[in-house]
């Protein structure tokens, strides 16, 4: 074949119409831009639990007519994906997941600086050496072996000393709790989950056992939307619905899971709801409240009363109304309500997790958490330290003292969902 003939055929091919390739977009691309990102998550969130015939436009990504957890899992697995044959749009890119790198709770560098002598360390070590026999997400904090916090201490000991026996024990425990999220006690799940997720991060499960880490990730992702039923039936539903100790504990578990999964959209949504709980109704106001007498403005209820709030001439700035009400309607002088501290346990862990992810959660709403602590300790309310932490709450003020450089009373304790802050977070 001559060169002239080759050139003829080449130009004929170039000038002739070329075959077009159908653009194949991911299933969870709700807005048809052929990219799966945070904007596609919103239709799922807004229509969760509903039936629909409008498919992915309403968040029903698998087309079964119901917007549920399976659709969320599909969106999560496709997050960051694009379709084929997409022409790049100038100035627009897929937002990458948040890069954690420094540890969702404590970094290797931070842990390496912690002491391996003294009473605080001895408490951690003693607790870690205890047995975890039948771990389950259905066990409350009063269970015989306090499995969630004991697992956490085992992870701490591994992270500080490199003890591989502790590392293997944590991995074994994590495998045992898979599937235990459905059993009738959602509050137990909310309280338990974040210690286990943080433990997985502390032992670097992804490097230690990549295959099981995939299983673990799939499980914790599932628990966000599937749970034990009741007034709120999953971690996300409880966080979005309950402006009290339930929602606060749910926020801690949701934040820990989102950070472990590097799920930037879920992290952002956790932060949005938490900020709403702290009092920013423009951020989120979808909670369901109980009796409203402890609220500053019953028409605009919040999780923590606003700065400067008073009622009948009394200071209720920093009150957690939906937990304070558990002791009764508004009265003065106020009563020390233990449910408030239950809520603070979850809220403090949530704030610290979000802080480490780059959100100024400790500063939100005029330092709402600090104001809550001040109300519980202020002599202008009742007497100095009139409602200071007791029992399993005693260690949590260490988190507050570190965040705000304060000096609220704090001492060693094992909390409902975490503990041993006297070793990890004491200044």
- pLDDT tens digit string along 216-226? 999 999 999 99
- pLDDT tens digit string along 2-29? 444 434 433 443 344 443 333 478 888 8
Of the pLDDT bands very low, low, confident and very high (cuts 50, 70, 90), residue 114 is: very high
Residue 313 is predicted with a pLDDT of 97
* Section 302-321 average pLDDT: 98
* Choice among 38-42, 107-111, 166-170, 184-188 with the minimum mean pLDDT: 38-42
* Section 332-340 average pLDDT: 97
Residue 288 has pLDDT above 80, yes or no: yes
Of the pLDDT bands very low, low, confident and very high (cuts 50, 70, 90), residue 141 is: low
Q: Which domains does the chain have, with CATH numbers?
A: 3-78 (1.10.1330.10), 108-289+319-424 (1.50.10)
Residue 101 has pLDDT above 60, yes or no: no
Residue 382 has pLDDT above 60, yes or no: yes
Look at residues 139, 245, 157, 257 and name the one whose alpha carbon lies nearest to residue 198: 257
Of the pLDDT bands very low, low, confident and very high (cuts 50, 70, 90), residue 32 is: confident
Residue 34 is predicted with a pLDDT of 82
Q: For residues 105 and 395, what is the distance between their CA atoms, to the nearest angstrom?
A: 16
Q: Are 251 and 235 in contact (CB under 8 A)?
A: no
* Section 281-288 average pLDDT: 97
Bigger pLDDT: 74 vs 147: 147
Q: For residues 162 and 301, what is the distance between their CA atoms, to the nearest angstrom?
A: 48
Of the pLDDT bands very low, low, confident and very high (cuts 50, 70, 90), residue 339 is: very high
Q: Are 373 and 304 in contact (CB under 8 A)?
A: no
- pLDDT tens digit string along 233-281? 899 999 999 999 999 999 999 999 999 999 999 999 999 999 999 999 9
pTM, full prediction = 0.78
Q: For residues 136 and 227, what is the distance between their CA atoms, to the nearest angstrom?
A: 13
Residue 41 has pLDDT above 80, yes or no: no
Q: Are 104 and 356 in contact (CB under 8 A)?
A: yes
Q: For residues 370 and 358, what is the distance between their CA atoms, to the nearest angstrom?
A: 19
| Residue 407: Cβ-neighbour burial (10 angstroms; 0-12, 13-18, 19+) | exposed
Whether omega for the bond prior to residue 290 falls within 30 degrees of 0, making it cis, is no
* Choice among 13-27, 301-315, 329-343 with the minimum mean pLDDT: 13-27
Residue 98 has pLDDT above 70, yes or no: no
Cβ partners under 8 Å of residue 75, min gap 6: 28, 36, 40, 41, 44, 61
Strand, coil or helix: 327: helix
Residue 83 is predicted with a pLDDT of 67
Phi and psi dihedrals of 108, rounded to 5? Answer: -60, -40
Residue 291 has pLDDT above 80, yes or no: yes
| Region for residue 329 given its phi and psi (left: phi exceeds 0; alpha: psi -120 to 50; beta: otherwise) | beta
- What is the percent of the chain where pLDDT is above 70? 88
């Amino acid at each position: 074949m001559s060169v002239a003939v080759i050139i003829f055929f080449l130009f004929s091919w170039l000038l002739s119409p070329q075959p077009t390739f159908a653009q194949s977009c991911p299933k969870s691309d709700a807005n048809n831009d052929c990219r799966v990102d945070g904007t596609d998550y919103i239709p799922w969130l807004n229509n969760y639990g509903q039936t629909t015939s409008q498919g992915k436009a309403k968040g029903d990504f698998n087309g079964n007519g119901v917007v549920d957890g399976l659709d969320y899992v599909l969106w999560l697995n496709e997050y960051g994906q694009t379709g084929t044959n997409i022409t790049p749009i100038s100035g627009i890119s897929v937002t990458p997941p948040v890069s954690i790198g420094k540890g969702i709770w404590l970094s290797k560098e931070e842990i390496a600086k912690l002491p391996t002598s003294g009473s605080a360390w001895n408490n951690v070590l003693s607790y870690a050496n205890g047995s975890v026999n039948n771990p389950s997400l259905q066990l409350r904090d009063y269970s015989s072996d306090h499995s969630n916090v004991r697992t956490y201490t085992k992870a701490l000991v591994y992270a500080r000393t490199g003890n591989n026996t502790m590392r293997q024990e944590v991995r074994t425990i994590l495998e045992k709790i898979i599937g235990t999220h459905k059993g009738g006690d959602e509050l137990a799940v909310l309280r338990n989950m974040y210690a286990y997720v943080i433990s997985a991060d502390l032992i670097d499960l992804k490097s230690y056992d990549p295959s099981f880490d995939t299983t673990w990730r799939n499980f914790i992702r599932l628990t966000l939307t599937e749970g034990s039923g009741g007034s709120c039936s999953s971690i996300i539903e409880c966080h979005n619905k309950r402006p009290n100790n339930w929602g606060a504990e749910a926020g801690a578990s949701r934040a820990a899971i989102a950070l472990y999964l590097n799920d930037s959209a879920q992290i952002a949504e956790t932060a949005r709801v938490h900020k709403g709980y702290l009092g920013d109704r423009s951020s989120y106001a979808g909670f369901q409240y109980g009796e409203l007498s402890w609220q500053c403005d019953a028409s605009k209820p919040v999780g923590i009363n606003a700065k400067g709030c008073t009622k009948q001439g009394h200071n209720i700035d920093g009150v957690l109304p939906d937990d304070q009400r558990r002791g009764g309607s508004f009265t003065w002088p106020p009563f020390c309500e233990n449910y408030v501290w239950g809520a603070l346990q979850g809220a403090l862990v949530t704030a610290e997790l979000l802080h480490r992810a780059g959100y100024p959660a400790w500063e939100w709403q005029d330092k709402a958490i600090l104001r809550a602590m001040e109300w519980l300790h202020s002599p202008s309310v009742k007497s100095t330290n009139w409602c200071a932490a007791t029992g399993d709450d005693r260690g949590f003020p260490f988190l507050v003292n570190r965040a705000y450089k304060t000096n609220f009373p704090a001492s060693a304790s094992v909390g409902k969902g975490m503990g041993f802050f006297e070793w990890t977070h004491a200044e």
